[in-house]
Structure 1
Amino acid sequence: MQKQTTLETAVSYTGIGLHSGREVHAVLKPAPADTGIVFVRTDLPGQPMIHAKAENVTSTLRATTVEENGLRVFTIEHLMSAFHAHRIDNAFVELDSEEPPVADGASLVFFELMAKAGVRELEAERREVIIDKVYRIDDEATGRFVMVVPYDGFRVSFTSLNPHKLIGVQYEDFHIDEETYHKEIAPARTIAYEKEIAQLREMGLGLGGTLESVIVYNDDGWLNPLHFEDELVRHKILDVIGDLRLAGIIRGHVIAAASGHALNTQLAKKIAAAHLAK
């Protein structure tokens, strides 16, 4: 029997939101058993809570957004990915804005903050999401898909498809444990095509991105050094781990081709609904 976990102590980080460009102070705090991951908007009267659950996803435009009682937090996937990697069931995430800090543009900062805080085992039993059949979401128009099949552990196999000659097809396959995640996944940053940046900013997106937190490419090459030759697909793996954490802590093998937040969170909703029905 597995026991639920939470953080041992509180840890904090201050930075800029990737899309909002606003400064935000984040505090990660221990939480009791059966709390789940809960965002607390300390900037609003009464400090309302937003539960990081698949059913609360309301938008996947360039990031994953969860909303409850008309209040939202967005770009939560990197933080959720680190919670999944550490197998942390319960935590409060206090934010004085509607978006967590972008930090390093990956999840390394969050992963190491959680490691610094420590993980404490609770008395309550964990209700692990054990995949016992195939769950699959397809985008028939593009051929993109994401699925999860039974597996004794947690594994992600991802094929990234990018038409740009600099990137092309990238594939990685990892059995995810804390050590592998820390070394191979957590440092992989988000990515942007230089020609798209002005358009994104006109849409009010990417206002807090810099060459420290985003890998940028144009038709001639990369504007900043890569952490990995195939950093794009590793970041895609980071994202799918975070998006699927909205369904719980998963035991299974995730297989994806060019999937993004929309397909990932649809799969999370499908898994969560089936798990709750058991």
Structure 2
Amino acid sequence: MQHQTTIGKTVTYTGIGLHSGQDVTIRLNPAPIDTGIVFARVDLPGAPQVAAKASNVTSTMRATTLESGNAKVFTVEHLLAAFSAMMVDNCIIEIDSVEPPVADGSSMPFVELIQQAGIIKQDAIRKILAVSAEQTIRHEDKFITILPYNGLRITFTSINSHPLLGVQFGDYEITPETFIKEIAPARTIGFMHEVEALKAQGLALGGSLENAVVYDAENVLTPLRFSDELVRHKILDVIGDLALAGCVRGHIIAVKSGHTLNTALANKILANIIETV
């Protein structure tokens, strides 16, 4: 049996939102058992809250958005991936803007924030969600599936037409140690030809060479951390999006999946799970 956990003390991080371009501070706070991961919009009257649950997803355009009443936050997946992979169950995140900091475009700054706070065991059993049969979401040439598996394994194939990207394949057993070494440092990817269109939609207003891996038509403009950084970041996104279902166990296999399919699978898992401890 595994016990629920929370962080050991309050810690803060200040930065800029990737899409909003707004300055933002997040404060991670210890939380009681069965709280889950909850965002509190302290910049709004009454500090309304929204829980990191698949049922609260309202948009998946370029990022995962959560809403409940007046509380709205988006681009939550990098932060949620850190909580999930580091096995932190309960935390209240006070946030004074609509979007967490992008930091360097990866989950690593959030891992380090959690490590700074420490992780403490709580007097309650962790609820582990294990599928009893294959569950799949498909759309055209993209899919994501989960198979019964004793652990969390993610196998992802990314296919991109850029000459420096092409087909990238990643297959990882997700543990805190593997996440820190192989997945958490992988940054979000951007393309110069998309920048103007994104900004016209009010997106990527805070994006830069300091918080994304950027490609032009022929070159990468940012030094890579991994030769296959794209597929590693795709796996990071899967971890963050599936955290919206809870503590999931299974073998996830995906081809060209993104936030829309990931979060749809999270909802499907919740509708077709067995709960174990």
CA deviation after TM superposition for structure 1 residue 71, in Å: 2.7
Give the SS at the match of 2:217.
coil
The letter for the 2-side match of 1:169 is: V
The letter for the 2-side match of 1:157 is: T
Instruction: Report how many aligned residue pairs link the two structures.
Output: 276
Match of 2:231 among 207, 211, 233: 233
Q: Partners in 1 of 2:98 and 2:274 — Cα distance?
A: 28
Q: Partners in 1 of 2:78 and 2:229 — Cα distance?
A: 15
Match of 2:204 among 203, 206, 211: 206
Q: Partners in 2 of 1:155 and 1:162 — Cα distance?
A: 23
What is the TM-score of this pair, normalised by structure 2? 0.97
Spell out, residue by residue over 1:13-40, the C-alpha distance to the aligned partner (whole angstroms, 9 max, x if none).
0000000000001001110001010000
Spell out, residue by residue over 1:31-84, the C-alpha distance to the aligned partner (whole angstroms, 9 max, x if none).
000101000000011111101100100000000001101431000000000011
CA deviation after TM superposition for structure 1 residue 152, in Å: 1.3
The letter for the 2-side match of 1:205 is: L
The letter for the 2-side match of 1:270 is: K
Give the SS at the match of 1:88.
coil
Q: For residues 122-161 of structure 1, what are the structure 2 equivalents within 5 Å?
A: 122-139=122-139, 141=140, 143-161=141-159
Q: Partners in 1 of 2:222 and 2:104 — Cα distance?
A: 14
CA deviation after TM superposition for structure 1 residue 250, in Å: 1.1
Give the SS at the match of 2:237.
helix
Q: For residues 246-257 of structure 1, what are the structure 2 equivalents within 5 Å?
A: 246-257=244-255
Q: Partners in 1 of 2:80 and 2:270 — Cα distance?
A: 16
Q: Partners in 1 of 2:274 and 2:40 — Cα distance?
A: 24
Match of 1:163 in 2: 161
Q: Partners in 1 of 2:79 and 2:218 — Cα distance?
A: 32
Match of 2:172 in 1: 174
The letter for the 2-side match of 1:117 is: A
CA deviation after TM superposition for structure 1 residue 193, in Å: 1.0
Q: Partners in 1 of 2:71 and 2:27 — Cα distance?
A: 19
Spell out, residue by residue over 1:69-112, the C-alpha distance to the aligned partner (whole angstroms, 9 max, x if none).
14310000000000111111110011000100000101000011
Match of 1:65 in 2: 65
Q: Partners in 1 of 2:192 and 2:177 — Cα distance?
A: 33
Match of 1:13 in 2: 13
CA deviation after TM superposition for structure 1 residue 180, in Å: 0.8
CA deviation after TM superposition for structure 1 residue 210, in Å: 1.0
Match of 2:243 in 1: 245
Q: Partners in 1 of 2:203 and 2:71 — Cα distance?
A: 19
The letter for the 1-side match of 2:97 is: S
CA deviation after TM superposition for structure 1 residue 275, in Å: 3.7
**Structure 1 runs of 4+ off > 6 angstroms?**
none
Spell out, residue by residue over 1:178-205, the C-alpha distance to the aligned partner (whole angstroms, 9 max, x if none).
1110011011000111110111111110
Quote the RMSD (CA, aligned, Å): 1.3
Match of 2:40 in 1: 40
CA deviation after TM superposition for structure 1 residue 116, in Å: 1.3
CA deviation after TM superposition for structure 1 residue 131, in Å: 2.3
Given the alignment of the two structures, is residue 197 of structure 1 paired with residue 195 of structure 2, yes or no? Answer: yes
What is the TM-score of this pair, normalised by structure 1? 0.97
Question: Residues 276, 27 of structure 1: CA spacing in aligned structure 2 closer, same or farther, 3 A cutoff?
Answer: farther
Question: Residues 185, 277 of structure 1: CA spacing in aligned structure 2 closer, same or farther, 3 A cutoff?
Answer: closer
CA deviation after TM superposition for structure 1 residue 276, in Å: 8.3
Structure 2: unaligned runs, 5 residues or longer: none
Match of 2:257 among 246, 256, 259: 259
Give the SS at the match of 1:148.
strand
Spell out, residue by residue over 1:141-172, the C-alpha distance to the aligned partner (whole angstroms, 9 max, x if none).
2x100011111111110000101211100001
CA deviation after TM superposition for structure 1 residue 277, in Å: 9.1
Given the alignment of the two structures, is residue 90 of structure 1 paired with residue 90 of structure 2, yes or no? Answer: yes
